[in-house]
Copies of this chain bind each other. A is one copy, B any other.
Amino acid sequence: MPDQKEVTIYDIARYLNLSATTVSRGLKDHPTINKQTRKKIAEAAQLLGYRSNTFASSLRSKRSNTIGVIVPRLNSQFMSGVLAAMEDTASREGYNLLITQSLEKEDKEKMNANTMFNKRVDGLLISLAYDTKSIGHLQPFLDKKIPVVFFDRTWDQSQCTSVMIDNYKAAYEATKHLLDQGRRRILHLGGSKERNVYADRLRGYRHALRDSGIAYDEKLVRISQLLESSGTEAAAWILKQKPAQRPDAVFGASDTVAAHCMLALLEAGIRIPDDIAIAGFNNDPISRIVSPALTTVDYPGYHLGDTAMKSLLEQLNGLPGAGNTNSIILKSELIIRASSQKKTSL
C-alpha cells in the first residue's frame, strides 16, 4: 500500500538547506550540532514523514530491539496480567514485543518460534503449549546465543532461565488445607501432565494425601484443558456418583475450572462448602467475585511477567552472571475464602 517514496536525510537537508552530514548528526543528537539546529531538523523530519532506518541500523547493530513472546492463549485473564507487565517493563527499556499465541498446539508454537527467529528478535519469552513434546524448535535460538526465558510453563534446559512459582508446594498447601477442614475424598481437576505446572500440582496433591495417610485414588483425578466447560463436566460427573462415593472437596488447577464446577454444583442444590469444599488456583478476579468467594493460590501474574522480562533484559545487557540463573521461583500464597472454610460457630 505505501506508495510514496521514502523520505531520506537528503530530502531533509535540501528542505533546510543544510548538509546531509549535519542532518544525519542532528537526528542522532550529536553534540557538535547546536540545540536549535537539532530541533529544526527533528521538526522537519516529522513534517516530511522521515522514518529512521531501523532495518538498516538493526543489520548494523545486530539488534532489532524487538522481543518475541509466545503464550498458549492470549484470551486468558492470567496471561493478560503477565503480558501487561512484560510490555510495561520492556517499553521502558526501548524494546517492543512481538506477541503470538500457540493456541495450545505444538505445531503453531513451532511456526511462531520460526517466525520470531527469522524476524531476528533479540530474545524470546515462552510459556509452552499444552501438548508440546520437545523444544527442538528453540535450538536455533540457543545455537545463536539468543536468550530464551521460560515462564509459567517451563522446560528444564540448562542454557535457559525459568521463572515460575513452586507449584508443588502451592498444591500441597491447598490440599493440606482441605484435609485440615476434615475432607477425605478430594477430587483434583488437573491439566496435562506433560507440563511442569500441572505435573507439580498433581504431585503436591498426592503427597499431601500420602502425608495424611489417605490412599491415592486415580478415579479422583480428572485431567482436562481446565476450561469453563471442564468445570461444568466435572460437576456433572460428581452428581452422577452415589452419595456415599461423592467427593467432599474439589481442588482445581485453575480458578476457571474450580469456579464453574462450583456454580454447576450450587445450581444442583449442593451446599458449598458444607457438602463439598472447593479450592482453585491463580487468584483470578473471578475468584473474588464468585459467591461463595473461592479459596485459591495467589499466583502473581504481573510479578511473573515483570521478573521474566527483567531476567531477559539483564541477559541482553550482558550483566555479569545474568545467564547463569537457572530458575527464579516467585512467592505464591494460599488465600482461604468462604468456599472451603469450616463454619465457625458464632
Stretch at the interface among A10-18, A92-100, A177-185: A92-100
The answer to whether A87 and B59 have CB atoms under 8 Å apart is no
**Given A55-B59, A97-B99 in contact, is the A4-B74 Cβ separation under 8 Å?**
no
Interface centre among A119, A143, A145, A259 (most CB of B within 10 A): A119
Q: Is the CB of A62 within 8 A of B2?
A: yes
How many chain A residues touch B (CB < 8 A): the figure is: 65
In the bound complex, residues from chain B placing their C-beta under 8 Å from that of A260 are 289
**A4 x B145 contact (CB < 8 A):** yes
Q: Which residues, 237 to 269 on A, are CB-close (under 8 Å) to B?
A: 259-260, 263
User: Are B58 and A55 in touch, CB under 8 angstroms?
Assistant: yes
**Contacts of A263 on B, CB cut-off 8 Å?**
289
- Whether A328 is near chain B, meaning CB under 8 Å from some CB there, is no
Measured CB to CB, the nearest residue on chain B to A64 is: B55
A86 closest partner in B (C-beta): B74
| Residue among A4, A145, A285 with the highest chain B CB neighbour number at 10 A | A285
Residue from A87, A103, A140 with most neighbouring chain B CB atoms (10 Å): A87
A144 to B83, CA, bound (A): 31
- From B97, B111, B120, contact of A98 by CB (8 A): B97
A10 to chain B, nearest CB (A): 17
- Report A212-254 CB contacts with B as 1/0, cut-off 8 Å: 0000000000000000100000000000000000000000000
Q: Chain B CB within 10 Å — which of A66, A108, A144 has the most?
A: A144
Q: List 6 A-B contacts (CB under 8 A).
A: A1-B122, A2-B145, A49-B140, A55-B55, A66-B98, A97-B98
Q: A74-B83, A97-B98 are in contact. List 9 more A-B contacts (CB 8 A).
A: A4-B143, A4-B145, A49-B140, A51-B140, A55-B120, A77-B285, A98-B98, A98-B99, A291-B291
